[in-house]
Amino acid sequence: MAKVPLADAGNQFEDLSGIAIKPGENPYDALINACQGSAARIQALYARHRTARNAQQRDKFLAAEFTGLSIDPILLRLEKPDIEPGFRDPRHCLVFWARPPEHILKLASHLQALLQRAAPNLWLMPPHRMHMTTLEIAHSKTAEEIADLVSSIRPAIPALTGLTFTRRTRLVKPMLSYDLSAVAVSFLPASGEEALSPLPVPPSSSDGVAHLGELNESTAEGDNYTYHHLRRDAFNMASKMVPIASRYVVPSAHITLGRYLTQKDHETAELRERWIRTIEDINKWLENEVWDVKDGEFIGEWLVGQERGLDARCGTLWYGGGRTIMTGEGF
């Protein structure tokens, strides 16, 4: 079987927030320290990253020298088995995912439907496979290598998957983010925005951290513990047990909605302009009709860990597959 190029091989996942990470340090500490732990500053850097990346990708789509989308060769073979009969994804991974609650799945599915009107051939992530990667331990390994890592980290898995029960954090302001290989819905760490969904059950343990569930009407204090803090804490806990080799560490909280499997929907300048216009129109709709909108049809606030704790997962999970080792307690 011929070796297939890795998906996203040509994609650059540079951090566009302006934060430099020092070798050997917890990569999530760099942004938190640069922001002096301020939720408002952390939110601003997440926003800067996704806005700058969208602008960068917009230029690529609309460039006169556009040479084509980055088609995922592995997904293409899995979806169209006649290309290479018997092909199997060789990349085994170990991750901790945050699973979106029902109201976020409803929003994500609606966004997929809007996107598919402009790109009928877009491959869509099935809702039951949707996820946000909180921490990637390893990727593109053999099954045996991942099994060894699972064995090493297993004693810490209950605490890691249960992090979201006692360390509550919110994500807000959904927006479409995209590049030449995929499109996603991204969120920002909250910073004092009004709560849009019912307050969760308070955590039973007390560890000195201000948690959203411990608050009444105000969310500002609880938001000081952001999603980036959660990622930092997961990294700290996991790195005591196994080496961590993430593909990239950028200030992004996103769910992949779809990937491109053909050039057909974007082969002309007019089609590419239509695609960008569709994304920008959807983002305007999100900002006006979903952000900070109480009792609307769609809720844009995500309490990480709502319904389910973190999902420790391994296997061939690039497109939402693989198997669950353990899921933490939800609230």
Residues 42-56: pLDDT tens digits?
999 999 999 999 999
- Under the banding of pLDDT at 50, 70 and 90, the label for residue 202 is low
Asked if the model's pLDDT at residue 236 lies above 50, the reply is yes
SS3 127: helix
- Residue whose C-alpha is closest to residue 156's, from 31, 244, 33: 244
pLDDT value for 210: 43
Q: pTM of this prediction?
A: 0.90
Residue 205 vs residue 314, higher pLDDT: 314
Give yes or no for a contact between 175 and 302, defined as CB atoms under 8 angstroms apart.
Answer: no
Which H or E run contains 174? strand 170-178
- CA 35 from centroid of its chain's CA atoms: 21
- Signed CA dihedral, 303, 29, 254, 277: sign only: positive
Query: From residue 195, how far is each of 100, 185, 294, 303, 311 by CA, in Å?
Result: 17, 20, 8, 10, 25
pLDDT of 215 strictly over 50: no
Instruction: Say if residue 129's pLDDT is above 90.
Output: yes
Residue 177 has pLDDT above 70, yes or no: yes
Integer Cα distance of 262 and 302 in angstroms:
32
Reduced to 3 states (helix: H, G, I; strand: E, B; else coil), residue 137 is: strand
Nearest to 173 by CA among 283, 42, 276: 283
- Predicted confidence band at 115 (pLDDT cuts at 50, 70, 90)? very high
Nearest by Cα to 161 from 329, 331, 16:
329
Judged on CB neighbours under 10 Å (0-12, 13-18, 19+), 312 is: buried
- 141 forms beta bridges with 92
DSSP 69: -
Work out the number of other CB atoms within 10 angstroms of the CB of residue 103: 17
Each residue's pLDDT tens digit, 155-165 = 999 999 999 99
pLDDT tens-place string over residues 80-97: 999 999 999 999 999 999
Which of the four pLDDT bands, split at 50, 70 and 90, describes residue 19?
low
pLDDT of residue 208 exceeding 60, the answer is: no
Task: Encode pLDDT of 305-317 as tens digits.
Answer: 999 999 999 999 9
Domain at 27-327: CATH code: 3.90.1140.10
